[in-house]
Copies of this chain bind each other. A is one copy, B any other.
């Protein structure tokens, strides 16, 4: 028996919205100690998504037996949209489940919505991802990053990121012109979340597919800041910290031509 109760539906709603454009089907792994984890790779195998929701993310969490819940994220999304952000949300599954039960409660209005989603068997390549050291780590407001990623996509399908000691430079160039955005490290004393922090071992120059960055950036509503870890020619890590968990994206860089 799995029973995970969220204090509000908004977290789960946003998570699924942040993932479903990259991946259609995926397995939710449930265990008493680890809570709910998920790992999925997009069809082009360029973007890997890793989600962890510790039991502490839940108002109540119980999982008698490890479960793998194979879900169609499009269907899950349809169901989650039927709940309001402030509703209590509970996920329920039997020990050998055919279905996942999704229950919303709006205590004020005395409304209870209950949905049963069919589960599916999904092939899962669960990779173990080593926590590697990167050449640089950047932390910035996720909305800032989202804006750059979205804006630059109007110029090109590739976004180049150059990191030096105290600045990050985003560059794109395409038919209508070229652009660069330079963000300098700084500390915002009023609101630490507005600070931009750069830790650098080695300067970095990487290029990503703008399409993937735009998918990643859909998670911006989940956390005020995003931490980006980059190394030349190595998949980058984009991490959105949740309270008691995270949503991480691993994105392989573009590897072409002039970036020798």
Interface residues of A (CB under 8 A from B): 72, 75, 78-79, 81-82, 99, 109-118, 147, 151-152, 154-155, 176-186, 194, 196
Contact of A82 among B110, B111, B113, B151 (CB under 8 A): B151
- Contact check, A118 vs B184: say whether CB atoms are below 8 A apart: no
Report A232 CB to chain B, min CB distance, Å. 24
Contact of A177 among B118, B154, B183 (CB under 8 A): B118
- Contact check, B177 vs A109: say whether CB atoms are below 8 A apart: no
Most buried by B among A72, A114, A147: A114
- Contact check, A113 vs B182: say whether CB atoms are below 8 A apart: yes
Report A142 CB to chain B, min CB distance, Å. 15
CB neighbours (8 Å) of A181 from chain B are: 82, 111-114
CB neighbours (8 Å) of A176 from chain B are: 72, 75, 78-79, 117-118
A249 to B64, alpha carbons, bound, how many Å? 50
- Contact check, B113 vs A179: say whether CB atoms are below 8 A apart: yes
- Contact check, B112 vs A182: say whether CB atoms are below 8 A apart: yes
Minimum CB distance partner of A180 in chain B: B114
CB neighbours (8 Å) of A99 from chain B are: 177
Report A39 CB to chain B, min CB distance, Å. 23
Minimum CB distance partner of A117 in chain B: B177
- Contact check, B114 vs A179: say whether CB atoms are below 8 A apart: yes
Further pairs besides A82-B181, A117-B177, A118-B176: 6, Cβ < 8 Å: A79-B179, A82-B147, A111-B184, A113-B182, A116-B178, A118-B177
